[in-house]
A and B are shown apart, each in its own frame.
Chain A
Amino acid sequence: MALPKVLGIETEYGIIVRGADSNPVSASSLLINAYISSIARQRGRIGWDFEDEQPSNDARGDSIDESIAPEVETTLVNAVLTNGARYYVDHAHPEISSPEVTNAREAVVWDRAADEIIRASMTHANAVLASDPQSADGAEMIIHKNNSDGKGNSYGCHENYLLSRDLPFGRMASQITPHFVTRQIFCGAGKVGCELPGRPNDDIGYQISQRADFFEEEIGLETTLKRPIVNTRDEPHADAQKYRRLHVIVGDANMSEVATYLKVGTSSIILSMIEDNELGDDWLLGNPVAAIRQVSHDPSLRQTIMLRDGSRATALEVQWGLFERAQKYAQTHGLESVGEAVGADVMAKWETVLQGLETDLDSMAHWVDWIAKKRLVDGYADRHGLAPGTPRLKAIDLQYHDMRKDKCLADRAGLDTLVTMDEAVAAMTAPPSTTRAYFRGVCLKKYPDEIVAANWDSLVFDVGRDPLRRVPMMEPLRGTAEHVAELINGCDTARELLDRLGE
């Protein structure tokens, strides 16, 4: 049986400062510190515990390529929030890693919370800039939820899914690849221009994905160079005897809530099918790296890509094939691993989006980012007689992702929403109740002075007696509200909580 698909989303945001001297690392630090001090003025900052960080472990066992292991940066700003998320500086970008959740809808809620955290951070950071005599009047921090600067530099929006350790990694990697290559037709965020190395930027007027140009390998450990479609980082942040964590680096950051929902919802279902060995090899691809670019470079959705057996199919045909398999799987196995109700809704929306893509692309402009953005770009080009790829069209592309409310074009594009603003704001400070993120978040809120460090799989308490007490959380589905809400409610102090846990 497929494991419950515990998942999370990590987003690296684009950052610039206008009117003040700043490099991206210090700007990111200023942004995050401004937010943290706004929510916890009297409180010392709770650090991140790096004890168990091992991002260089390779899921294939001994590394079989010459990948350079990623390094953990331990000196930069790193905060844990009461909603269970981690907010930190990663590779010169502010990054928010969402708390662990159990289904696609929860993923959208905490992704929206991350957006609101970024918006609040910008406001507080701008106040700091305004009080700095070195800054120009109106100095401003500008954040984009995108994945590329249009000049060949990319940063990621990653997804993580809990898998069984028993699942053979090689089979999972080859079977998930067709989905990772073709799902962009409904979850690509769209891009003006081309960033393929060695090819002129204006070679392609408009493409489906922000990220596709940056993928050079089918499988590997890299995340910043020679990026692979399937990443092999083996760092489960949970009991490594029982679990894997599939670290997905191939997706775009979405402004559309439905796109995020479909991206993680369909991927969760397909991963469950692979765990239950119900996906099959019908849709394996001949050349995934070439295919991911071909699909991205064809907004007509008419070009075909080569399958492993030498035949050809469009991305839409591959998606219909995967969808139909998923439909059969839902009938025979149920969708409990992704949440029955959410799973059924994901299936319905998946069918609707494929049908819409097949009959009338523009009909999906309220769900699919690349279509919503393309409509703006094409309409504006028509109205002003602009050639493809001109800077003003690139400005529309960029501003689609602008996190400033008064500038964001995605906010004006008529996208459907799944989450209310109240729900998103509540999730800025409240953790999901369904995973260990509940224990992490609620403890941080209730015992801030007694927690000295936190991590995905542990909390470290200092209750004034030596040594420090580390509470391991190796099971992502323990520490939920159901398990510990009563316990925590009954403990006024962290010392009491630790005593009760030790009983």
Chain B
Amino acid sequence: MAERIQKSKPTQETEENVDTAAEAVTETGDKIKADIDDLLDEIDEVLETNAEDFVKSYVQKGGQ
């Protein structure tokens, strides 16, 4: 199996594309990390006032 997994990795040709894609992905990732602190501040403002009660009382009927 290990061999088959190895074979199923991207081929040489696609590796280069993947590298470029990975760079773009990392850039976006850096920006996202920088935003997290602001976001956590915002969560404190937006979170339901009685978050714990809200969670406890959140009961749904089962569906499909």
Chain A contact residues, CB within 8 Å of chain B? 12, 14-16, 24, 70, 90-93, 148-151, 153-156, 158, 223-224, 249, 282, 307, 309, 311-313, 317, 320-321, 324, 327, 351-352, 355-356, 359-360, 362-366, 375-376, 379-380, 383, 391-392, 394-396, 398-399, 406-407, 409, 412-414
**Residue from A155, A309, A356 within 8 A of B64 (CB atoms):** A155
**C-alpha gap A324/B26 in the complex (Å):** 23
Question: Which residue of chain A is the closest to B27 with respect to CB atoms?
Answer: A363
B55 touches A153 (CB 8 A): no
With contacts A355-B22, A391-B52, A395-B48 known, is A366 near B28, CB below 8 A?
yes
B58 touches A398 (CB 8 A): yes
B61 touches A92 (CB 8 A): yes
B47 touches A399 (CB 8 A): yes
Smallest beta-carbon distance A378→chain B, Å: 9
With contacts A249-B64, A366-B28 known, is A379 near B39, CB below 8 A?
yes
A154 touches B63 (CB 8 A): yes
A362 surroundings in chain B (CB, below 8 A): 29, 32-33
A-B contact list, 18 entries, CB within 8 Å: A15-B60, A92-B63, A153-B59, A155-B61, A223-B64, A321-B8, A324-B8, A324-B9, A351-B21, A355-B18, A356-B29, A364-B25, A366-B28, A392-B52, A395-B47, A396-B47, A407-B48, A414-B39
**C-alpha gap A320/B4 in the complex (Å):** 11
B22 touches A356 (CB 8 A): yes
With contacts A92-B61, A320-B10 known, is A379 near B55, CB below 8 A?
no
Q: Which A-B residue pairs are the 10 nearest by beta carbons?
A: A155-B63, A311-B1, A363-B29, A395-B51, A92-B61, A391-B52, A223-B64, A149-B60, A91-B63, A321-B8
With contacts A351-B18, A363-B28 known, is A153 near B10, CB below 8 A?
no
**0/1 interface trace, chain B 31-64, chain A, CB 8 Å (1 if under):** 0110110011011001110011011111111111
A282 surroundings in chain B (CB, below 8 A): 4
Smallest beta-carbon distance B36→chain A, Å: 5
Question: Which residue of chain B is the closest to A249 with respect to CB atoms?
Answer: B64
**Residue from B40, B46, B56 within 8 A of A379 (CB atoms):** B40
Q: Is the interface of B mostly helix, strand, loop or mixed?
A: helix
A391 surroundings in chain B (CB, below 8 A): 51-52, 55-56
With contacts A376-B39, A409-B46 known, is A360 near B25, CB below 8 A?
yes
With contacts A282-B4, A398-B55 known, is A365 near B63, CB below 8 A?
no
Q: Is the interface of A mostly helix, strand, loop or mixed?
A: mixed
A399 touches B46 (CB 8 A): yes
B2 surroundings in chain A (CB, below 8 A): 311
Q: Is B14 an interface residue (CB 8 A)?
A: yes
A383 touches B22 (CB 8 A): no
Smallest beta-carbon distance B8→chain A, Å: 4
Smallest beta-carbon distance B52→chain A, Å: 4
Smallest beta-carbon distance A160→chain B, Å: 13
B58 touches A150 (CB 8 A): yes
A379 touches B51 (CB 8 A): no
Smallest beta-carbon distance B11→chain A, Å: 8
B4 surroundings in chain A (CB, below 8 A): 282, 311, 321
Smallest beta-carbon distance B42→chain A, Å: 6
**C-alpha gap A407/B51 in the complex (Å):** 12
